[in-house]
Amino acid sequence: MRTVVVGGGIVGLSSAYALAERGADVTVCEKGRLGDGSTSRALGGIRAQFSTAVNVDLTLASLPVWESFEERFGVDIAFRQTGYLMLARTEETAAGLERQVEMQREQGAGTELLTPEEAAKHCVGVDPDAITAATFNARDGFADPYLALQGFADAAREAGVNIRTNTAVTDVQVDDGRAVGVAVEGDGAPRNGIIDADAVVNATGPWAARIAELAGVNVPVGPQRRQAVVVDPERSVPESDPLTIDLETGSHFRPERDGAAVVGGYFADKPETPSPDDYSDTHDLPWAAQAVERAGIYCDYFGDGTRIKRGWAGLYAVTPDHHPIIEESRPGFVQAIGFSGHGFQHAPATGQVVAELLLDGEASTVDIDALGSDRFEEGELLQERNVA
């Protein structure tokens, strides 16, 4: 099967690799450089602690790849399984965590429900008096998104994938209702500007709605700006600490090297929805000050002596219910989009599912029935906290 994958981020390259491994003839078209969209600015978090079963399943299907990445691809992605620690500061949130733990364990995740004192043993900076309950999963962690991207890119090339950077898709060719190729321009464009195919995969992150529209498909996916900063805390953060999240505000941090930490969170009343072609990729100082202040509410690492070292901003590709769309939207046109900040961690399973949809006619790695775009028209939305 001749397939064009549009988008050279982690989801696109994972999909290309999975297709090529099964014998497909695959071309990747990336309008800039590989990973220029969301992947290069991702935090790299990988967790099974979600509030819906399908997100848990996507993680559990991806984890074997992350845990054996160096063996499989020959690249050390610095995957550190120090866990995720989710903190509740109200009784209502604590009750929700208890229900989520039950669901996660039913799906096969080994998440634990903790008392405040037990939580402080996993992260000594956490103030047990500031929280009511917590959850922890030791298989959760974080990796380097850029190194993972390079691993998938190298493996895809070795499998025969033709990766064309600086090659923008300007149209999706449709014949009798089926996607049959793309029109392109740029360095990798053929002389006639057309790449014929039996199928097209939309994996373009913040640009997803534009590519979908070229194929005559409307999807509620849009870019939202997110920020992160690296700080030198007042008190050094041990590298063994988990990625820690305050569920009341979305404030979160994870350890960096030499006692530093990466701090993030989204606190605005209204999402920033800039054009993916024109937005500030540097952090805002007022936001950074607020992020550090909020982290200090539940963790004593971040006192007045905390100093901001550097920061960045990137884009999430967000759907109304913060779940992806993974489906064959029309014959020959598969979409893996709208991951709402979770695309990196779910890329291995998503790549397998994309290959299954095109080569088998249905997904088998994960049940994706809940991730069709028709849920937005039918009002059957999923619910997921929009955190790291």
User: What average pLDDT is seen over the chain?
Assistant: 96
Q: How confident is the model at residue 269 (pLDDT cuts 50, 70, 90)?
A: confident
- Output the pTM of the full model: 0.96
* Model confidence pLDDT, tens digit, residues 158-175: 999 999 999 999 999 999
pLDDT number for residue 267: 85
* Percentage of residues in the chain having pLDDT higher than 90: 95
Q: Which tokens in the block code for residue 151?
A: 């691993």
* 351-368 confidence digits (pLDDT tens): 999 999 999 999 999 999
Mean pLDDT of the region 341-355: 98
Give percent of the chain with pLDDT exceeding 70: 99
> What is the pLDDT at residue 285?
95
Cβ 86 vs Cβ 245: under 8 Å: yes
Residue 42, pLDDT above cutoff 80:
yes
Q: How far is 297 from 293, CA to CA, in rounded Å?
A: 7
**Of 76, 222, 195, whose CA–CA distance to 143 is shortest?**
76
Mean pLDDT of 230-239: 97
- Domain 2-45+146-220+321-378 is classified in which CATH homologous superfamily? FAD/NAD(P)-binding domain (3.50.50.60)
Provide the token pair at 258.
């030499």
| Whole-number pLDDT of residue 235 | 96
Q: What does the pLDDT look like over 187-196, one tens digit per residue?
A: 999 999 999 9
Any idea what DSSP says for residue 299?
B
Binned at pLDDT 50, 70 and 90, residue 22 comes out as: very high
Domain spanning 84-138+222-318: CATH 3.30.9.10: yes
Give me the pLDDT at residue 252, please.
97
pLDDT in tens, 69-92: 999 999 999 999 999 999 999 999
Extents of the domains making up the chain: 2-45+146-220+321-378, 84-138+222-318
Band the pLDDT of 388: cuts 50, 70, 90: low
pLDDT at 379 (0 to 100): 86
Band of residue 271 on the pLDDT scale cut at 50, 70, 90: confident
Q: Is the pLDDT of residue 385 over 80?
A: no
- pLDDT score of 236: 97
**268 neighbors 313 (Cβ within 8 angstroms):** no
With cut-offs at 50, 70 and 90, classify the pLDDT of residue 301.
very high
Contacts of range 167-172, beta carbons closer than 8 Å, 24 or more positions apart: 167/29, 167/30, 167/31, 168/29, 168/31, 169/4, 169/6, 169/29, 169/31, 169/211, 169/214, 170/214, 171/214, 172/200, 172/211, 172/214, 172/215, 172/333
Is a pLDDT exceeding 70 seen at residue 56?
yes
pLDDT at site 381: 84
pLDDT at 320 over 60: yes
